[in-house]
Structure 1
Amino acid sequence: MTVLAGFQPNSNPMGSQVLSALVAMIPIIAMLVTLGGLRWRAHYAGLFSWSLACIAAVAAYKMPVAMVAATSAQGFVYGIFPIVWILLTAIWMYQVTVISGRFDDLRQTFFLISDDPRVLGILISFCFGGLLEALAGFGAPVAIVTVMLIAVGFSKMRAAITALLANTVPVAFGAVGLPVLMAAKTANMDVLEIAPITGRITAALCLVIPFLLLALMDGKKGLVECWPFGLVIGFTFGVTKWIVSSSALYNLTEIFAAVVSVGVAIAFTRVWHPKGSSEAVPRVGRPVVPSLEGEYVPAPVEAKEALTGNRIFMAVVPYILVIAVFGIANLAPVAAAAKSTDIKIPWPGLSGQLMDSAGKAASHQNYTFAWASTPGLLLAIVAILVAVIYKVSMKDLFVELWNNVKKMKFTMLTIGSVVALAYVMGDSGQTLALGMWIAGAGAIYPFLAPILGWIGVYVTGSDTSANILFSGLQAGVGDQIGHKALLVGSNAAGGVVGKMISPQSLAIASTAMGLAGAESAILRKVIAWSFVLLALLCVISGLMSTPVLAWVLP
């Protein structure tokens, strides 16, 4: 029997960086074509693209077959736990409100803030979604925001694509600043060199995203009738990001931005009221893809019993608990205690054998079973607490959990195969090959730096993972051409607009809106926005390396 020697990935196995990068692009292109063009079901597209990545890893990148199998298995397991587990518990928490009969109270409570669904759409997706991203991440904001938008009258597809588009700006500072922290750590730089740049680049998006959301929700009428609200929210969120990301509290950037924006929004809606609110209700509720969502049936107008203070409080209890539980969990002593319970498991076939590109032990030599330090356990605790408060029996509660598990079988396969794809591409050297190719652009490279972050998040589904993959490379290029901090910060910023088309995010949105298998339809609706926003980030990053926008740098 042959014993596997240690494997170190080669970023240029073909002897030509262009050819090596082209081979590495095959799985990525395959995913986009099969999912968006050929309209395959997501789990088929994921498995097919993963198989192509495996073939490239063995045939071109010379990774031993056994190692390809081992890293694929670990990737699939990581996709199930913690990622699917987090999605499952987020939807479980929401379903408790449905089976308890509190769902309609939540809808009425939202309309106490404003009777305009477009205003509520921005508040829920952009502001509250930003807060959820800051506290939880891992796809939970997309799942929760999607179902909340459906609660206020959005059609399923419109809710999903709104949630995905809004879940861009907060991503770089999500999970209490983890992405920028890992970017700095990987690049061997001070995080206070990176965070202000990432904050300022993404602050520019804050002036764009609210208007795109209005256009997506209600077209031209949404823009014409609600642009003042979009401007106020975008400006407030962006300015707050700019200020906080440049301070020692950088890790709380999204929390401050979300909370301040909600406060300003509520105050603004007391003195400003959009036109055409009632006419907008059927428009945001009309299906985007009737063949998937069914024909539009207007909600019957019924006399509602006036909400009492107690009913309002009970309606928002789940989300108060989310904020409270995650806020406590993110306190340094609590977070450290939870992290200390992580269990590292040496992975068969990789432990002691898999190296990174620098020849050091690769992180995937071990699988970390983070049962207490990821959001899934916290969301499960919230779901159980809500059930107790709402007097839902434990039997009904866990029957609902099992029903969701059965509904998510294809989503599990999709996310598992996509993460396996990411692991194979990363561990074999394919992802690095793409990065090295783009990094060869020379003086114009600052205009291309965000693309690496975009690719990293598209493949891995995580801005943190993308920064770990590429921040070292960005720093190395920066040492050669200058603008080191700008390039590393641009990597984190570029990743945020890759999040909305990541197959993981698509699967989460599809599951949350109750239309499993709709990933290809969602992708076709959001991919153009992702490319447009990436182009904008590339222009901003590039101009920041010139006198035109150099003044923006800290």
Structure 2
Amino acid sequence: MSLSTTTSASGYQQHFDPVLGRLGLSATVAAIPLIVLFVLLGVLRWKAHWAGLTALGTAAVIAVAVYGMPVGQTVSAAGLGAAVSFLSVIWILINALWIFRLTERTGHFAVLRRSFAGVSDDQRIQVIIIAFSFGALLEALAGAGTPVAISAVMLVGLGLPPMRAAVAALVANTAPVAFGALSAPVTTLSQVTGRDFDTLGSIIGRQTSIVAVIVPLVLVFLVDGRRGVREAWPAALVAGVGFGAGQFVFSNFISVELADIGAALCSAAVLVGFLRVWQPRHALTADSVTATASVHSAAPVPVTTGGFGGSGGTADSAREEEAPAPRDDRRNVILSYLPYALVIAVFVVAQPDSVKARLSSAALHFGWPGLHITGATGAPVPTVFTFDYLPAAGTLLFVSGVFTTVLLRVAPGEAARIYGATVKQLTWTIVCVLSVLGLAYVMNMSGQTGSIGRGLATMGAAFAVFSPVIGWLGVAITGSDNSSNALFGAVQIAAAQQTGLSLDLMAAANSSGGVVGKMISPQSLAIAAAVVGVQGKEGDIFRKVIGYSLALLALIALIVFLQSTPVLSWMLP
């Protein structure tokens, strides 16, 4: 095992074949931390924070012992990842859950639940509306973990068992990911590959729109099994086709940046319109689900681990307690929607470039201490830490929460108490997120991630099948399609040039493959588990979503492969 590398007291140069100079062996060794993480989560069912810390330790040992990265730089890289995780994940998670707890405390979420029942009291339909359509709108505006955090906790409040709500929110957050945060991942992909932004967006839209048609069907299966698909498939298909058509049209003919917004609104509009003329023959309500405790609408209480799940109530007792539910006047209904309308409004106001520039003018920029990295070609690897706190999604959610306290008339002291309880509830989730982002940065900075990507890029013509797998791995590691595109976009282009495949197709495949990796990302798992109150069961959630992730990945890989051949090459712009 050769450990030769260019290092100095002040710097470290990446290399991608440290094991006997062979890329394949190096990629295999580099994958060990990921294998450790997924085995601990999915097979041994460790709690996510312990699995994350163990995987981080494994990556650090490989970085030092195999890649020759100095110990100090390894520790510094982990520290940078942990610091980045605050704004990108933790800050979002805390404030998203705080907003929900405010609505629960004031009783307004109970009103919202009854309002949704007015559209359809069927949980299968509610999951599509909230996790798929509304979640996509949140993904379009905020990205990161916002849609999973908010939609999962809303589903629990509507009576879905916590574990099922977490899984549904994760699976739903797939098709919109590539165009999230006003298509930031596509922008990054265009920048790192040098390919045309509109062309990349067009190809991605022609791939992910197909996945979008399937996702609502998967959601009704998750909620109610085969019976759910049999009874609710028309609504699921209408929502999926509406979303897919909207995403295709906007990404190809209107605006790539607005692809998710257009898709989410199209999906919601066609579904609500369809429900005016059709409803499932047998509605699946919270009262009719066995082994599911009822969510009482009378006394508002904060979210707790046991407040929504378990087997504490029967269907008959639930119906008796729900029977005297009051009729809500228009004012209360408006107030119940207001916190989430505020979230959308605040994000919309913050989107114009002029506003972003003004907010970002207060950002802090500095080179991360003790970290000096150059790439394999000798070019410096950016290690500047940017604390861009004002336009951050978590900050915008905090502002929305402050407005919510005023409009819902929550006393400052009570709001602060709820905030403190929220942070306390998320303690171990925060540890998990810190460790997983630390893992990602150690693997990236040492060259382990590069070894994996370049190892897969040696597949020749078969690379068309494995191209989406690279994007999938990138998002599984980093938790972000944007980061995956930054990490592997150039690798995709280099591999396409070597194999004679379409440069634009392979670059787009990185982003499309990445969207289905989001649901197995440890960051996403931690967020979903935390907001529904099942911390420590991230491994169980992983086991429930990994099959769907792999199945959808196989579909995208098949689409990309066929698009690289005359069979579906006509689909490319």
Classify the TM-score, shorter chain: over 0.9
Q: Distance in 1 between matches of 2:87 and 2:191?
A: 25
Q: Distance in 2 between matches of 1:87 and 1:411?
A: 10
The residue type equivalent to 1:252 in the other structure is L
The residue type equivalent to 1:510 in the other structure is A
Shift of 1:149: 0.7
The residue type equivalent to 2:328 in the other structure is L
Aligned to 1:517: 536
Cα deviation digits, residues 132-186 of structure 1 (max 9, x gap): 0111111011010011111221111111100000001110000110011101111
Shift of 1:346: 1.6
Q: Distance in 2 between matches of 1:104 and 1:208?
A: 31
Q: Distance in 1 between matches of 2:290 and 2:435?
A: 34
Shift of 1:248: 5.4
**Is 1:120 matched with 2:136?**
no
Kept in 2, the 8 Å contact 1:192–1:247? The answer is: no
Q: Distance in 2 between matches of 1:9 and 1:202?
A: 34
Alignment partner for residue 340 of structure 1, among 353, 357, 361? 361
Q: Distance in 1 between matches of 2:178 and 2:446?
A: 26
After superposition, the CA RMSD in angstroms is 1.7
Q: Distance in 1 between matches of 2:156 and 2:106?
A: 17
Kept in 1, the 8 Å contact 2:238–2:271? The answer is: yes
The residue type equivalent to 2:444 in the other structure is G
Cα deviation digits, residues 502-540 of structure 1 (max 9, x gap): 000000001010121110111111111111111111111
For structure 2, list consecutive stretches of 5 or more residues without a partner in the other structure: 1-6, 294-304
Shift of 1:272: 0.8
Aligned to 2:296: none
1:403-442 aligned within 5 A:
403-442=421-460
- Identity percentage of aligned residues: 40
The residue type equivalent to 2:360 in the other structure is K
The residue type equivalent to 2:18 in the other structure is P
Q: Distance in 1 between matches of 2:543 and 2:356?
A: 39
**Is 1:394 matched with 2:415?**
no
Alignment coverage as a number of residue pairs: 548
Aligned to 2:402: 384
Aligned to 1:530: 549
Alignment partner for residue 493 of structure 1, among 504, 509, 512? 512
**Is 1:349 matched with 2:370?**
yes
Aligned to 1:59: 65
Q: Distance in 2 between matches of 1:10 and 1:39?
A: 34
Shift of 1:305: 1.6
Cα deviation digits, residues 369-388 of structure 1 (max 9, x gap): 11112111110011110110
Aligned to 1:461: 479
**Is 1:13 matched with 2:18?**
yes
Shift of 1:280: 7.3
Shift of 1:285: 6.9
Aligned to 2:186: 180
Kept in 1, the 8 Å contact 2:122–2:285? The answer is: no
Shift of 1:120: 1.0
Shift of 1:360: 2.4
SS class of match (1:277): coil
Aligned to 2:162: 156
Shift of 1:355: 1.9
Q: Distance in 2 between matches of 1:114 and 1:358?
A: 58
Cα distance change on mapping 1:542 and 1:281 into 2, 3 Å: farther
SS class of match (1:448): helix
SS class of match (2:31): helix
Deviates more, 1:243-252 or 1:206-215: 243-252
Q: Distance in 2 between matches of 1:477 and 1:50?
A: 29
1:128-277 aligned within 5 A:
128-247=134-253, 249-277=255-283
Kept in 2, the 8 Å contact 1:153–1:284? The answer is: no
Q: Distance in 1 between matches of 2:17 and 2:451?
A: 6
Shift of 1:278: 4.7
Aligned to 2:56: 50
Q: TM-score, normalised by structure 2?
A: 0.93
SS class of match (2:462): helix
Cα distance change on mapping 1:26 and 1:72 into 2, 3 Å: same
Shift of 1:301: 2.6
Shift of 1:362: 1.6
1:248-327 aligned within 5 A:
249-278=255-284, 281-283=287-289, 286=292, 293-295=309-311, 297-298=313-314, 299=318, 300-327=321-348
Kept in 2, the 8 Å contact 1:133–1:174? The answer is: yes
Cα deviation digits, residues 480-501 of structure 1 (max 9, x gap): 2221000000000001111001
Q: Distance in 2 between matches of 1:348 and 1:456?
A: 26
Shift of 1:245: 0.9
The residue type equivalent to 1:442 in the other structure is G
Q: Distance in 2 between matches of 1:341 and 1:487?
A: 37
SS class of match (1:345): strand
Shift of 1:115: 1.8
Q: Distance in 2 between matches of 1:493 and 1:413?
A: 30
Q: Distance in 2 between matches of 1:279 and 1:270?
A: 18
Cα deviation digits, residues 399-422 of structure 1 (max 9, x gap): 111111111111111000000000
Q: Distance in 2 between matches of 1:108 and 1:493?
A: 37
Alignment partner for residue 366 of structure 1, among 363, 367, 384? 384
SS class of match (2:365): strand
For structure 1, list consecutive stretches of 5 or more residues without a partner in the other structure: none
Cα deviation digits, residues 347-368 of structure 1 (max 9, x gap): 1111xx21234432222x2111
Q: TM-score, normalised by structure 1?
A: 0.96
Q: Distance in 2 between matches of 1:492 and 1:107?
A: 35
Q: Distance in 2 between matches of 1:192 and 1:151?
A: 40
Kept in 2, the 8 Å contact 1:192–1:248? The answer is: no
SS class of match (1:19): helix
Kept in 1, the 8 Å contact 2:142–2:180? The answer is: yes
Cα deviation digits, residues 19-47 of structure 1 (max 9, x gap): 10111110000001111111111111000
SS class of match (2:336): helix
